[in-house]
Amino acid sequence: MINFFLLLILTVCVITDVKSRKIYNKVIYPALLLGFGFHFLSSGWVGLSHSFIGFLIGFALLLIPYILGGMGAGDVKLLALIGALKGGTFVFESFIYMALVGGIIALAIILFRGGVMKSLLYSIINFRNGLPNSKFLISGSLNTTYPYGVAIAAGTVLVLIMDGGIL
């Protein structure tokens, strides 16, 4: 049941993050309260403490990137919510896969949206014709951002699949 709820929240957050680049508090906070309540009702104070520790771990993992300006507050709260729903070990595993997926997405953006492939083709043509080499990256291609909620959701879903929580 908690996995279905998590997937529902992730779906909503990915949609809003892609459409408006926001993960809304009106989705995160009620889900957080439901998660804490679920764990308290199912396992008492032990369940609530387990949920709260997961929340703190998820929050702490993205706090520094947020402070440095590389991450939005919604991303931090979403990972904290994942920790509250699934616990500390799960959120840490999700964080690892989230970082890998995020790196792959960032590399794809640099290669395709940033014009690297086009620049590489021009460089090869120029080299073959004995012309001076052009710049490899188009200006600003490394400053491109993307909705990181997609990477958070993908990393979480990968862990769910590996743990047998989906299918």
- Please state the domain extents for the chain: 2-162
pLDDT band at 135 (very low <50, low <70, confident <90, very high): low
120 pLDDT above the threshold of 90: no
Q: Are 16 and 152 in contact (CB under 8 A)?
A: no
pLDDT of residue 106: 85
pLDDT of residue 124: 77
User: Could you give the dihedral angle defined by the CA atoms of residues 97, 98, 104 and 109, in that order, rounded to the nearest 10 degrees?
Assistant: 170
pLDDT of residue 146: 83
pLDDT of residue 111: 75
CA distance 36 to 81: 10
Per-residue pLDDT reduced to its tens digit, 42-89: 999 999 999 999 999 999 999 999 999 888 999 999 999 999 999 999
CA distance 150 to 130: 43
136 pLDDT above the threshold of 70: no
114 pLDDT above the threshold of 80: no
pTM of the model: 0.83
126 pLDDT above the threshold of 80: no
